[in-house]
Amino acid sequence: MGGLSMDQAFVQAPEHRPKASVAEADGIPVIDLSPLLAAGDGDADGVDALAAEVGRASRDWGFFVVVRHGVPAEAVARAAEAQRAFFALPPERRAAVARSEAAPMGYYASDHTQNVRDWKEAFDLVPRRHPPPRARTGASSWWCATACRRRWWRGRRRRRAFFALPPERRAAVARSEAAPMGYYASEHTKNVRDWKEVFDLVPRQTPPPPTTAVADGDLVFDNKWPDDLPGFREAMEEYGEAVEELAFKLLELIARSLGLRPDRLHGFFKDDQTTFIRLNHYPPCPSPDLALGVGRHKDAGALTVLYQDDVGGLDVRRRSDGEWVRVRPVPHSFIINVGDIIQVWSNDRYESAEHRVAVNVEKERFSIPFFFNPAGHTMVEPLEEVVSDESPARYNPYNWGEFFSTRKNSNFKKLDVENVQITHFRKN
């Protein structure tokens, strides 16, 4: 993070500081998705059994690990290589693609979680957009309530990986408040700075019509590509496309597990989804007993599909006793966590899990979360199929675009109040 010093912005309150040792999680489900990938149209029973397994994991943990998931190992390796190359760029190069409040894709290093700065730097981007499976016959609309759009930069040199670039090169694609896609290293979780650096981007999408206007105050999802990392954009687009296919498969399994038709949730993602990818870099931390890579939080979206390296550091709060436990890295796997939107859609049958990221004094850590989010105009509320007289709706509807924008903007600063949560929409 370019010589980032340990200051009070990163220090967690005593009750939220990580312990010297955290037990490895025992019992987090590891789900083999190969039956789904091999299943034909006539193997509904096998898919339903897999859906039931996903449902149990979503109910009991809100977290699970998937293996034999169908995402090519080569695509993951290329994305991981590009990520490391970006964060090796000099600070000024990362800052050149900085994000902002108005344009939230790009580099940043000042995120806050729970009003404490996160010990990390990051780069956000959006992947290419595709209609949901079985809905790919028409062109999807490009604009949403958050006015998503992107620009493309072309690279000039070959085979460099992003997080290996010098700091000034990473800073060249830093995100800013006005342009929130790109590199950054100052995210906060619960008002404490995270010990990490990241790169955010959005998937490739169809360009907007020439007459499209951007309303004042709208978020602009505008990818910022470092201009000296040839292959970086291609690696991220390839990765985003492959992981999006996995995300839709998981969405169908969750729908089946709730007794719904498999494509019940597709409509929320058909037009202008707000999905984005984040490249996280957690540098070695001089005081890992005081800071966190990301403080305790729950993911606000629908699903998170996470790739992590073999260093580890992801902790989840176990529901049975409230203790923090470490999620052991499993080779060639993805970690899936249920987000707040799934919790609301399921009317609390499934619950998003609280989690955090610990750092260490010796090793840097990299991860790539894929935040699978619906269209900005989506009104999030319990699905009518899961509501009854015996189980009335537990949440009032809320607009996802407004919720998402508020949460995204709060990453830039320490707040005087609690960030917006789904609990604010819970019925009394």
User: What pLDDT is recorded for position 45?
Assistant: 79
* Segments of the chain scoring below 50 in pLDDT: 2-4, 135-160, 206-217
Strands 30-32 and 276-282: unpaired
User: What pLDDT is recorded for position 27?
Assistant: 84
Q: Which amino acid is at 255?
A: A
Measured in Å, how far apart are the chain's first and last C-alpha atoms? 44
Contact 270, 91 (CB under 8 A): no
What are the DSSP calls for 132-180, one per residue? PTT--SSPPP---TT-B--------SSS--TBBS-HHHHHTT--BBS--
Query: What is residue 273's DSSP assignment?
Result: B
Residues 143-175: pLDDT tens digits? Answer: 232 223 232 233 333 334 777 788 888 888 888
* Measured CA angle at 127 (ends 410, 405), to 5 deg: 20
Q: Would you give the distance in Å from CA 99 to the centre of its chain?
A: 16
Closest CA to 111 of 98, 122, 102, 103: 122
Contact 82, 238 (CB under 8 A): no
Strands 194-201 and 303-308: unpaired
**Cβ-proximal residues to 323 (8 Å cutoff; 6+ apart), any chain:** 23, 317
Residues 314-361: pLDDT tens digits? Answer: 999 998 888 999 999 999 999 999 999 999 999 999 999 999 999 999
What is the Cα–Cα distance from 371 to 385, expressed in whole angstroms? 25
Strands 194-201 and 276-282: antiparallel
Neighbours of 200 (CB within 10 A): 34
User: What pLDDT is recorded for position 416?
Assistant: 56
User: What pLDDT is recorded for position 219?
Assistant: 56
Neighbours of 138 (CB within 10 A): 8
Q: Structural domains in the chain? A: 8-425 (2.60.120.330)
User: What pLDDT is recorded for position 204?
Assistant: 55
User: What pLDDT is recorded for position 381?
Assistant: 98
User: What pLDDT is recorded for position 218?
Assistant: 53
Contact 154, 79 (CB under 8 A): no
Tell me the whole-structure pTM to 2 decimals.
Answer: 0.82
User: What pLDDT is recorded for position 208?
Assistant: 35
